[in-house]
Structure 1
Amino acid sequence: MIKIGDLNLGDFPLLLAPMEDVSDPPFRALCKENGADLMFTEFISSEGLIRDAAKSVQKLDIYEYERPIGIQIFGNEIASMRDAAAIAAEAGPDILDINYGCPVNKVACKGAGAGILLDIDKMVAMTAEIVKAVDIPVTVKTRLGWDDHTIRIQEVVERLQDVGIQAISIHARTRKQMYKGEARWEYLAEVKNNPRIHIPVFGNGDIDSPQRAKDYKNRYGVDGLMIGRASIGYPWIFNEIKHYFQTGDLLPPPDLEERIRVAKKHLDFSVQWKGEKLGLLEMRRHYTNYFRGMPHFKPYRTELVTSENYQEVCQLLDEVAKVFEGVEF
């Protein structure tokens, strides 16, 4: 049984990765409905929180049905991260997660996210301060290292565990790799085989099918899987993996009616939560995956991602339901 603090996550939990402009309440609602065991918010700027910036504060929104839920913060100043952690904890999450893995330039090149992998001592000091600042479990998401010459993941996990984190999620790539090349899960197996490590270790990177999920579970011995890009526009992946673990059989892919239902539910919540303009804008990244494999869908996709009117998008989805009725995926 995998536990983080007093949270019981079952035998082998599936986690929704924190993804900027993706892992918001509308999307999390769908992933929870479809089997995610633990979810995290989008990453939240520590500087934004301590300055009460509207965009950062809105990301603190969590709902009871999402539990267990973690709030993730990022930043490069220890004092700001400590203060932001206290603010985030007041929002009532079950977990506080620290982002030490984001590879994008605007974050990593300022010493936050994966950038802190170039200064392990600062990472440890920052983590220790955050652990002391809150009364809920603190977890970390990180990468193997900055590049192939700075892979010190064994040391990182040992030292972060020593200052009090209660679980770690590791994306099995370096920052230099970004999201390219093969994820190197052998490093995660080495962490799991380290007799000093007793906290849960969750693996992330390239989990895009039930078959691969089972293979990596068995081969690398991690305590659970964190799923990111493969869930975008496809929240069904969590239940598909669970079903495959239990039965060895693949569930049939969701039919058109189900895809339309979920896309509409996602759209409605997105517009409700963010307003029509931003809600429509941030839905655009999901349509390709909602309807992946549908022949001759491109003209409709183009209209869906260019429309700036909620009613028009709803009508387009209704038209898709009629035009492609009976199409198999």
Structure 2
Amino acid sequence: MRIGLHSIQPRVVLAPMAGVTDKPFRLLCKRLGAGLAVSEMTISDPRFWNTRKSLQRMDHAGEPEPVSVQIAGTDPRQLAEAARYNAGHGAQIIDLNMGCPAKKVCNVWAGSALMRDEALIGRILEAVVAAVDVPVTLKIRTGWDAGNRNAPAIARIAESAGIQALAVHGRTRDQHYTGQAEYATIARIKSERGIPVIANGDIDSPQRAAQVLRETGADAVMVGRAAQGRPWIFREIAHFLATGEELPPPSLDEVRGILLDHLHALHAFYGEEQGVRIARKHLGWYAKDRPENAAFRAVVNRAQTAGEQVVLTEAYFDALRDGASVSLPAVA
């Protein structure tokens, strides 16, 4: 799959997720096989570009190419300026968010709320495409609700405006992340449009990825929640798509190494206090399928320093590796 001049290989994409796909996580997923990792959503309002959070979200130094940055907003002129700003600060692909179902985003008519105003969508897409020399992509849902699945109409508007790839989550906005994703709408869009289409929603295994590609004819798959605590899913999917064979699961020692590397990266990127706090959710995701998950989180979440967090994590995995009962050091 190509987006502008960029070859996306393998055709497995990390979905943009607010509060999740920060720079440390993007780097990790790229290292473990993602062909493209889209940044978490950045705001288009220039009043907030110099806040600590925005500066962290706009930090792309050292990221493997291509660097894809997602922006969100409602005003065409403001979004165009945000696209120019991000392109000037390292973005090689600008992605527009019209798929986020969060209430605080939709209440200001951003994210998936924009799908209720196709005329405004057209003005936004034309303004952003005209503003930058880098490719512009778009992420949408199948519609606002079951009675308004207008994604095919928006796909037509997007292609006409010069959008160079379209990611479609197989749910309506009112579903949020409940129920099951449907892929018929994605298949219809792919059959009607000439731009690359990326299928998103419930892609949680190599087999499901292959099935969705067959059912939709999509050019790539996008993985979101299934990568939380399991970033090696990208290499598993890529290998299965290339060979039809399943990779063995990572060893406990490899998972331990991946998680500790992730912890160190979070502490270095955010600083100790913020890094420790952000790392807690990732620790929970890594351990979520283990029976001792609740006990592990109860102890690790009390860690206040990077050193404590690392020591507790090492002790947890060492106990699992040695086949001993998990007994973690106490935390003050």
Q: Quote the Cα distance in structure 2 between the aligned partners of 1:223 and 1:46.
A: 29
Aligned to 1:141: 139
Return structure 1 stretches of 4+ with deviation > 6 angstroms. Answer: none
CA contact (8 A) 1:20 1:43 kept: yes
Q: Is this contact kept in 2: 1:124–1:159, CA < 8 A?
A: yes
CA pair 48-232 structure 1, distance change in 2 beyond 3 A: farther
Amino acid at match of 1:106: K
Correspondence for 1:172: 170
CA distance in 2, matches of 1:156, 1:306: 47
Moved more, 20-29 or 302-311: 302-311
Match status 1:299 vs 2:307: no
Aligned match of 1:320 in 316, 321, 324? 316
Unpaired runs of at least 5, structure 2: 324-332
Distance 1:60 1:49, change over 3 A: farther
Alignment of 1:167-316 (within 5 A): 167-194=165-192, 197-316=193-312
- When normalised by structure 2's length, the TM-score is 0.93
Q: 1:248 to 1:174 in 2, by over 3 A?
A: same
Q: Is the 8 A contact 2:183 2:215 kept in 1?
A: no
The SS at the match of 1:52 is coil
Q: Which amino acid aligns with 2:203?
A: I
Corresponding position: 1:8 with 2:7 = yes
Match of residue 66, structure 1, among 57, 64, 67 = 64
Q: What is the number of equivalent residue pairs in this alignment? A: 324
CA contact (8 A) 1:101 1:113 kept: yes
- In structure 1, distance between residues paired with 2:320 and 2:49: 49
2:328 corresponds in structure 1 to none
Counterparts of 2:225 and 2:46, CA distance in 1: 26
Amino acid at match of 2:50: D
Mapped to 2, the partners of 1:50 and 1:83 lie a distance apart of 13
* Contact persistence 1:273–1:279 (CA under 8 A): yes
Deviation at 1:252, TM superposition (A): 1.9
Per mean C-alpha deviation after superposition, the further-off stretch among 53-62 and 166-175 is 53-62
Q: Residues 242 and 127 (structure 1 numbering): CA distance in 2 closer, same or farther, change over 3 Å?
A: same
In structure 2, what is the Cα distance between the partners aligned to 1:326 and 1:161? 55
Deviation by residue 1:16-69 (Cα, 9 ceiling, x = unmatched) = 001111101111111011100011111001115665333213211113442112
Opposite residue 177 of structure 2, the aligned amino acid is Y
Q: CA deviation at 1:6?
A: 0.8
TM-score by length of 1: 0.94
- In 1, Cα distance between equivalents of 2:108 and 2:164: 26
Q: Give how far 1:309 is off.
A: 1.4
Out of 158, 161, 172, which is 2:159 matched to? 161
Distance change (3 Å), C-alpha of 1:125 and 1:131 = same
CA distance in 2, matches of 1:49, 1:269: 29
Residue 182 of structure 1: CA displacement? 0.8
Q: For 1:120-145, what per-residue CA distance to the aligned partner results, in whole angstroms no more than 9, with x for missing partners?
A: 11011011101111110000011111
Task: State the alpha-carbon separation in 2 of the partners of residues 145 and 198 from structure 1.
Answer: 20
Contact 1:50 1:80 in 2 (8 A): no
CA distance in 1, matches of 2:164, 2:46: 26
Q: Which of 11, 15, 24 in structure 1 is aligned with 2:22?
A: 24
Pairwise CA RMSD? 1.6
Provide, for residues 215-259 of structure 1, a one-character-per-residue CA deviation record: whole Å limited to 9, x for no partner: 111121110001000001111000011222233332222222111
Gaps of 5+ in 1: none
- AA of the residue aligned to 1:16: L
- For the Cα contact (< 8 Å) 1:39–1:66, is it kept in 2? no
